[in-house]
Amino acid sequence: MKIKRHSTVLIGIAAAVLLTTSGCSGGLLAGDGGASSDADAGPVKLAMVIPISGSSAPTGEYMQNGANLAIDEINKDGGVLDGRKLELIVGDEACDAQQAVASANKAVSAGVVVSVGGYCSGATLPQLPIFEKAGIPMIIPAANSQDLVNQGLKNVFLINGTGKQQSTAALDFIKKSGFTTVALVDDNTSYSKDINTETAKQIEEDGSATVALSTSVTAGESDYSAVVRDIMNANPELVYWTGYYQEGGLIINQLKKAGFAGQIMVADGSVDPSLSEIAGAGAEGVFATMTQTPDTIEGAEDWIANYEEKFGSAPGPYSTQSYDAVRLAAEAIEEAGSTDGDKIIEALEGIDGFEMFSGPLKFTPEHTLSSGGFVILSIQDGKFVLEDDLS
């Protein structure tokens, strides 16, 4: 009896809801949702899922500014596809998988055509299947874990050097400078561990140097005396820190305090003005593997001036890559002559010699840069300057 009554009510409610909503667009009965409803008119939307909250938020801002700079330039020049404007849809990833998925889905729902975001590798990985299913190409400006490539998805393009390429750059510099013993330290995040293991592998294969120590620390702590002790015991000529600047600064500081006499090198995640602030005087002379930043690129003064005029602050890490990602997206859309994902992917694969900050672009078969564009920076007077362009 009771159950019958329940089910009649249920059916009644369901029917009522159906009746009232069947006219709405975007519902299940209205085809494939609102995703492609404005595919042929209005602005062309680009998704940018980057860290807006959390500890990587400053980098997110650099990226967003870089992208907006490109969008303004392109729109001023008449947009894409005969006058359609570009529009940036920004979503927060907060370096967290769940938030990233939410933001990616939101972007897909907003009807984006290309994704030009992706900073934390751990938060970018779960975005891949979402954009892939929606047939949306991804031009990833910052995240560069090898795992992104290893999935073999045809919509994923990396315009930052991969962990592998960064490791190669590190090895080149090690050989060039004649270091014979190296300690590798990561912070146990996806990106950092990737570079650590890859560098260790390449050093061993190469054989000109030995890995004296390869270890991990836990991010977010203050006291790194354990790893400092290990390094002092291993006594390498070079310490390569592959994590982010917060812990990097502490480790450099504590190493110097402990009287470490060797050299220190950091990976691109630690290339941030705060590094030398946290590390104090000990940061002087620290090396870094990094893709070109506007500061280190010759002839980028105009660009920097534009950026500063628009945003009132100097560009930071990944401003250029984000800028390039948007330009590249526009180029590919123009080339494809449509907002269709497959055609854009085809266009991206066909691009040859597109000028970017990192040099002329041509994608490898696995959709990475043919050359990583990594250079070696060093800290002089608290600022990163070009040490060696490895050419």
Partner 1 sequence: MQLIWDGLFVGSFYALIALGYSMVYGIIKLLNFAHGDLYMLGAFIGFAVLSSLGGIPASLSIGALLVVLLLSMLLTGTAGVLIERFAYRPLRGAPRLAVLITAVGVSFSLEYGISAIAGPNPRSFPIRLEGEVFNLIGARVSLPQIVLMIIAGLLMIGLNGYIQNTSTGRAMRSIALDRNASLLMGINVNAVITRTFFIGSALAGAAGVMAGAYYGKIDFLMGFIIGLKAFTAAVIGGIGNIKGAMLGGLVLGFVEAFGAQWFGGQWRDVFAFAVLILFLTLRPTGILGERVTERV
Partner 2 sequence: MSENVDTTLAPKKIRPPSGRVSRLFESKWLGWVALAIAVAAPFVNATPYALNIMTTAAIFVLLASGLNIVVGYCGLLDLGYIAFMAVGAYTSGIVAKAFDLPLLFTIPVVLVMTVLAGLIIGAPTLRLRSDYLAIVTLGFGEITRITANNLAITGGPSGIFGIPGILKIGDFDFQQPAVFYYVTILVVAGFVLAAARLGKSRLGRAWRFVREDEDAAEAMGIHTYKVKLLAYTFGAIWGGFGGVLFAGHLSAVAPTSFVFLQSALVLMAVVLGGMGNMRGVVIGALVISLLPELLRDLAEYRYLAFGVLLIVVMLFRPQGFWPARGYEPERKPAEEREAVAVAGEQR
The reply on whether position 64 binds partner 1 by CB under 8 A is no
Query: What's the token pair of residue 126?
Result: 């779960």
Which residue's CB is nearer to partner 1, number 250 or number 288? 250
Q: Kindly state the smallest distance separating residue 305's Cβ from partner 1, in Å.
A: 26
Q: Kindly state the smallest distance separating residue 222's Cβ from partner 1, in Å.
A: 5
The reply on whether position 279 binds partner 1 by CB under 8 A is yes
The reply on whether position 200 binds partner 1 by CB under 8 A is no
Which residue's CB is nearer to partner 2, number 25 or number 235? 25
Cα(128)–Cα(13) distance, integer angstroms:
38
Q: Kindly state the smallest distance separating residue 174's Cβ from partner 2, in Å.
A: 24
Which of these segments, 163-171, 210-218, 262-270, 342-350, binds partner 1 (CB under 8 A)?
210-218
The reply on whether position 258 binds partner 1 by CB under 8 A is yes
**Residues in the site for partner 2, rule: CB under 8 A?**
6, 9-10, 13-14, 17-18, 21-22, 24, 26-30, 33-35, 52-53, 92, 95-98, 101-102, 105-110, 121-123, 125-126, 128-130, 134, 145, 147, 151, 188-190, 192-194, 216, 218
The reply on whether position 54 binds partner 1 by CB under 8 A is yes
Q: Kindly state the smallest distance separating residue 17's Cβ from partner 2, in Å.
A: 4
Which of these segments, 120-128, 256-264, 347-355, 381-389, binds partner 1 (CB under 8 A)?
256-264
- Of 307, 341, 338, nearest to 322 by C-alpha is 307
Residue from the set 121, 246, 291, 322 that interacts with partner 1 by CB under 8 A: 246
The reply on whether position 197 binds partner 1 by CB under 8 A is no
The reply on whether position 381 binds partner 1 by CB under 8 A is no
How many chain residues are in contact with partner 1, going by CB under 8 A?
A: 35
SS (H, E, C) the chain: CHHHHHHHHHHHHHHHHHHHHCCCCCCCCCCCCCCCCCCCCCCEEEEEEECCCCCCHHHHHHHHHHHHHHHHHHHHCCCECCCECEEEEEEECCCCHHHHHHHHHHHHHCCCCEECCCCCHHHHCCHHHHHHHCCCCEEECCCCCHHHHHCCCCCEEECCCCHHHHHHHHHHHHHHHCCCEEEEEECCCHHHHHHHHHHHHHHHHHCCCEEEEEEECCCCCCCCHHHHHHHHHHCCCEEEECCCHHHHHHHHHHHHHCCCCCEEEECHHHCCHHHHHHHHHHHCCCEEEEECCHHHCCCCHHHHHHHHHHHCCCCCCCHHHHHHHHHHHHHHHHHHCCCCHHHHHHHHHHCEEEEECCEEEEECCCCCECCCCEEEEEEECCEEEEEECCC
Which of these segments, 103-111, 148-156, 277-285, 317-325, binds partner 1 (CB under 8 A)?
277-285
Which of these segments, 118-126, 134-142, 244-252, 383-391, binds partner 1 (CB under 8 A)?
244-252
Query: What's the token pair of residue 361?
Result: 């672009």
Q: Kindly state the smallest distance separating residue 18's Cβ from partner 2, in Å.
A: 6
Q: Kindly state the smallest distance separating residue 275's Cβ from partner 1, in Å.
A: 10
The count of other CB atoms within 10 Å of the CB of residue 290 is 25
Residue from the set 257, 285, 366, 383 that interacts with partner 1 by CB under 8 A: 257
Which residue's CB is nearer to partner 1, number 142 or number 217? 217
Which residue's CB is nearer to partner 1, number 258 or number 385? 258
Cα(391)–Cα(375) distance, integer angstroms:
9
Residue from the set 15, 226, 305, 314 that interacts with partner 1 by CB under 8 A: 226
Cα(329)–Cα(86) distance, integer angstroms:
10
Mark 142-179 as b/e (b = at least 16 C-beta within 10 Å): bbbbbbbbeeebebbbbbbbbbbbbbbbbbbbbeebeb
Q: Kindly state the smallest distance separating residue 78's Cβ from partner 2, in Å.
A: 31
Q: Kindly state the smallest distance separating residue 359's Cβ from partner 2, in Å.
A: 29
Residue from the set 53, 98, 235, 370 that interacts with partner 1 by CB under 8 A: 53
The reply on whether position 232 binds partner 1 by CB under 8 A is yes
- In the complex, the residues that contact partner 1 under the rule CB under 8 A are 53-55, 57-58, 188, 215-218, 220-227, 229-230, 232, 246, 249-250, 253-254, 257-259, 274, 277-281
